[in-house]
Structure 1
Amino acid sequence: MGMVNPTTCHKETVLGNFFFFFCWSAYMFGRAATSILWGMIADRYGRKPVIIIGTLAVVILNTLFGLSTKLWMAVFTRFILGLLCGILGPIKAYACEVCRPEHQSVGLSLITTSWGVGLVLGPAIGDFLAKPAEKYPKVFPEGSFFARFPYFLPCLCISICAGLAFITCWWLPETLHRHNVTNEEQNVVDRNEYLPDVDRTKSESEKSLIRNWPLMSSIIVYFLFSLHDMAYSEIFSLWAVSPKKFGGLSFSTKKVVLYPIVERISGHMIITRTVLSIPLLTSYPFIAKLSGVSQFLVLNCASVLKTAFSNAILTGLFIIQNNAVPQHQRGAANGIAMTSMSLFKAFGPAGGGAIFSWALKRISAPFLPGVHMVFFLLNVIEALGLLSTCRAFLRFPK
């Protein structure tokens, strides 16, 4: 039997991470550049056209991504996809508008649930269908089209799903109904139709999104939790595959896929759930000391609770953001939030990896050694998010 060269494996891993970082960052930078623009288009022409254009962009550019043979081609197609795929902001506005106020939390939590399902199923599809000529040589013989483009099959599968979504979108009812009135009258109509419990008086500050403090304060809180979630996602994967001597779990990459279990709940209890998340993160380094079934069960429970807490917080922030503005500004408001989140996700993998590498160099430090420092820093960000949810800072729409 041939021996595996560990140096070769390490190089392949580094190159794989390098490729992932550039493609992920290119998409996020593209989305950050145009999220506000797509939100403004959604406010002017409707949510449905933006959703249709975004799904069509996924169909075309994701297919081209699978046909890439050079790094620059892959990065370029991901960047253009980020520029053209302005779906998420208008989708949040759409979910808020098709639901009655008492059901908005359910509608918005479905968005985070769908995103979580995609994060679980997407890598599974990629792992199962990538390099089919190597995995299934009887079906995809050497020298075939799929041998030349080893990642085209999973991309094609995702594009087909996006194509079905593109067709379905044509039957979506439009929720933005423009009235033939002045801007002042339009504001009153929007509030009468969608925000029945707010003050009908339109102050000068409410006309500007930047001067709308309920909106901007909720977006700032969203900044912090987006930064925390992105860093947590990156650090969790690195911690799970790190050797036990460094405080990790020594899992294989296939085992790590089992742990992002999707468990989504909705709610507004922002402060309470943030407080609970802090001791939960503090317990993570001690989970590495367990083994076998007990470690499996405790880690799964902790992962489920962390996901549930995070998405309960985000759902509450989504509701505040959408209710802080009248309907005709909702797309732009969500666009601002998406821009901030995309920028954090563009830099998050590099930042999380740098923090984890630095922490491993101080494995014998007397204060917060190794991974204890990593989860302490995550808790610092979480604590800042907690402080920013105080009434003195985070203003709810009146």
Structure 2
Amino acid sequence: MEENKMREELLLKKENDYYYDEKCPGCKVERAKHMKKDMSLRNLFNIWMVVLCSALPISSLFPYLYFMVSDFHIAKREEDISGYAGYVGSAYMFGRALTSLLWGIIADRFGRKPVVITGIIAIVIFNTLFGLSTSFWMAVVARFFLGALNGLLGPMKAYSSEIFREENQAAGLSTFSASWGIGLVIGPALGGYLAQPVVKYPNIFPKNSIWDKFPYFLPSLIISIFSVVVLIACFWLPETLHNHPLISQDESAGGGDDADSLETGGTGCGDKDKTIQKDENLLLNWPLMSSIIVYCVVSLHDVAYQEVFSLWAVSPRRLGGLDFTTDNVGDVLSITGVGLIIFQLALYPKFEKVLGPVGFARIAGVVSIPLLQSYPFIAMLSGFTLYLLINIASVIKNLLQISIVTGMFLLQNRAVDQHQRGAANGISMTLMSVCKTIGPAAGGAILNLKY
């Protein structure tokens, strides 16, 4: 037994070129990867739940934000509501843009797990306060701090690649993207079904109760309760960061800068001779920065789409909307969520192996253009035909978007070593958050101009 253990440690050291320390949590993860025990449902489930916990509060407000801002009585005209709604939506991303790099540096210094736990605590507190907002400015401040103190997404992106062997990274980051996409879909569904419960479910929620005084509290409460459960589970989350310096022969010898290895995916342990140069200055790491630029552009477009779609769907026909109820919006987004789960977990890894992350992203970007151009024509329809086509368009749009994002995640995490991965993802999250700060405000303003 003891000889087998020593043999495993020697093999691990030979494969990874650094000393194995039994007390190091990162080494324990490397040992599991070496023994090919990394691809477990537990690891995938951990990623799924933590990312879902972060994604739910981001977009859960979109279906009822129009009505919430209207209840604040800050807009002088009905046409101005979309503009104010954009500011509430942007507050979260503005806060996250200011602190994402800092959280990434902290994750590289102290570990992924402490940052994840801190972020979930922030979700529980400030998401609850947002649901209890009684004024426009209270809602803006709650969303700002929710974004500023929630820095778990960058470290979780790093974690999703570090917990798996290289050939399984596509599955790990696909799970990350799937959970993220599902959160951005289920969140609005929760908001659509559970907002204003006294109006929708009078037999369950009586008038003059807390649900009547705070009509938008229930979806925030459900998300906060879920976050508490995830918070407790995170105390058993494996840490992937090493607590001792890594002495890597690859780093001392240096590698060739081969962007083609990123485009083709670089999967498989035999690709070490194609490992790209890991620049110490992240801003000069072109494979990293180019993938971040694409990710930012796609993210800006996506958050603007998410908000504009919900606002457009619930707007009256006389203003060019679909005159949907929040329940209708919830139905559309729920169907989209099911499609995302099936595609990301079952199909995306296969497409990525064949086309590569860059090739697949290119195809998705091209197909998105005519799809989005079809929306004004779909709005001219009515009845079952409208409902059917808007569901199909929503599913395809979100599948294409999440495919691009997953590809960029793969490129970003393959472009740097572990000791810089938190900071690299922090830069990615910072720049993405800046774009997503602009997105809701710009989307609301453009929709307001249309009216």
Give the TM-score normalised by structure 1. Answer: 0.76
Paired with 2:206 and 2:322, the residues of 1 have a C-alpha distance of 38
Post-superposition shift, 1:68? 3.3
Paired with 1:48 and 1:201, the residues of 2 have a C-alpha distance of 27
Deviations 1:32-67 (A, max 9, x none): 100000001111111111001111111122223333
1:259 partner SS: helix
Paired with 1:186 and 1:76, the residues of 2 have a C-alpha distance of 47
Q: What amino acid does structure 2 have at the position aligned with 1:83?
A: A
Deviations 1:275-328 (A, max 9, x none): 222222233333234443333333322221111111111100000001001011
Q: Does the 8 Å CA contact 1:179/1:186 hold for their aligned counterparts? A: no
1:206 partner SS: coil
Partner residue of 1:96? 161
- 1:226 and 2:317 aligned: no
* Cα gap change, 1:253 to 1:138, in 2 (>3 Å): closer
Compare the two structures and name the one with the higher helix fraction: 2
Root mean square deviation, CA, Å: 3.4
Partner residue of 2:425? 334
Post-superposition shift, 1:141? 4.7
> Which piece of structure 1 moves more, 312-321 or 113-122?
113-122
Q: What amino acid does structure 2 have at the position aligned with 1:325?
A: V
Partner residue of 2:147? 82
Q: Does the 8 Å CA contact 2:193/2:326 hold for their aligned counterparts? A: no
Structure 1: gaps of 5 or more residues: 1-6, 361-398
Q: Does the 8 Å CA contact 2:86/2:444 hold for their aligned counterparts? A: no
Partner residue of 1:287? 378
Partner residue of 2:444? 353
Paired with 2:132 and 2:313, the residues of 1 have a C-alpha distance of 32
Q: What amino acid does structure 1 have at the position aligned with 2:181?
A: G
Q: Does the 8 Å CA contact 1:126/1:154 hold for their aligned counterparts? A: yes
Please show how residues 13-32 of structure 1 align to structure 2 within 5 Å: 17=82, 20-32=85-97
Partner residue of 2:329? 256
Deviations 1:326-368 (A, max 9, x none): 01111111111111221122221221233344456xxxxxxxx
Q: Does the 8 Å CA contact 1:188/1:200 hold for their aligned counterparts? A: no
Q: Does the 8 Å CA contact 1:190/1:328 hold for their aligned counterparts? A: no
Partner residue of 1:370? none
Please show how residues 1-398 of structure 1 align to structure 2 within 5 Å: 17=82, 20-133=85-198, 140-180=205-245, 187=251, 197-198=271-272, 206-241=279-314, 249-260=322-333, 261-262=336-337, 263-264=339-340, 265=344, 266=348, 267=352, 268=357, 269-358=360-449
> Which piece of structure 1 moves more, 276-285 or 323-332?
276-285
Paired with 2:307 and 2:143, the residues of 1 have a C-alpha distance of 20
Deviations 1:245-272 (A, max 9, x none): 7765454444233333123333321112
* Cα gap change, 1:131 to 1:202, in 2 (>3 Å): closer
Post-superposition shift, 1:127? 4.0
* Cα gap change, 1:102 to 1:236, in 2 (>3 Å): same
> Which piece of structure 1 moves more, 325-334 or 271-280?
271-280
Post-superposition shift, 1:179? 2.4
Post-superposition shift, 1:109? 2.0
Q: Does the 8 Å CA contact 1:59/1:162 hold for their aligned counterparts? A: yes
> Which piece of structure 1 moves more, 146-155 or 331-340?
146-155
Q: What amino acid does structure 1 have at the position aligned with 2:289?
A: M
1:197 partner SS: helix
Post-superposition shift, 1:167? 0.3
Q: Does the 8 Å CA contact 1:131/1:146 hold for their aligned counterparts? A: yes
Give the TM-score normalised by structure 2. Answer: 0.68
* Cα gap change, 1:141 to 1:19, in 2 (>3 Å): farther
Q: Does the 8 Å CA contact 2:80/2:448 hold for their aligned counterparts? A: no
Q: Does the 8 Å CA contact 1:190/1:326 hold for their aligned counterparts? A: no
Post-superposition shift, 1:220? 1.0
Structure 2: gaps of 5 or more residues: 1-69, 256-267
Paired with 1:236 and 1:202, the residues of 2 have a C-alpha distance of 40
* Cα gap change, 1:139 to 1:115, in 2 (>3 Å): same
* Cα gap change, 1:255 to 1:190, in 2 (>3 Å): farther
